Amino acid sequence: MVYDSPMNVRFQVVKITVIACLSTCMHVYADTPQTNTAVATTQNDEITNLLENKGLFKQIGGQIAQSTQHLVHVGQSVTQSVGERTSELVSTAIGFLGVPYRFGGNTAESGFDCSGFVRSVFKDAVGFVLPRSSVEQANATLRIDKDELKAGDLVFFNTMKRAFSHVGVYLGEGKFIHSPRAGGQVRVEDMRVPYWNVRFDGARRVQTAALQTSQKPE
């Protein structure tokens, strides 16, 4: 078997480039459409033959296949990762069921207010620290439409005649979990019932990039 020297390989690469340029130029300046087609076909055949002779088609095909497999693997990893985070968020939120409401509360031991509950869920589940108040949480997260809601997203309500005065974590199928009010406990409710439906104030999502770079606290 005869191997090309590096110099010869570089010459062939230059040759391919020149042929491609000539093909383009001839295509632009040829007198008739028939001439364009004939020239383009001839030059394409030369390039194809050269690539086949050097085994470059096989090499390029292998690289494309490897790249495709890599992209599929990355896509599966991201999907699995997002699913795991969603599961963590939901399971952590459910784990706080029954914790009593406390204005300004940040922990399960002391009790939660609405934003303190959401903040603790994200911190404990995915190690991501949201701002403290519900208004700040709304401003720091990505706005989404109501029909885009997925488990783990935030839902906001106007319960005190001001925007984003209440917040909870969406669970799916119209349900959300929250710390409701003084005398209440963390519980699951249906946001489609009239009380919550008319007070719905928007949906937000904690950006994926932020979650991907966050880590659980040790």
Interatomic CA distance for residues 14 and 111, integer angstroms: 72
* Exposure class string for 2-18: b at 16+ Cβ within 10 A, else e: eeeeeeeeeebeeebee
Place of tokens 């917040």: 167
Residues in the chain: 218
Nearest in space to 122 (alpha carbons), one of 81, 144, 91, 83: 91
178 catalytic? Reply is: yes
Interatomic CA distance for residues 181 and 200, integer angstroms: 16
Interatomic CA distance for residues 190 and 171, integer angstroms: 10
Nearest in space to 150 (alpha carbons), one of 104, 206, 96: 206
73 catalytic? Reply is: no
Residues sharing a CB contact under 8 Å with residue 140, sequence separation 6 or more, in sequence order: 130, 131
Interatomic CA distance for residues 144 and 155, integer angstroms: 10
Interatomic CA distance for residues 34 and 160, integer angstroms: 76
21 catalytic? Reply is: no
Phi, psi for residue 188 in degrees, rounded to 5: -100, 135
Q: Which residues are catalytic?
A: 114, 166, 178
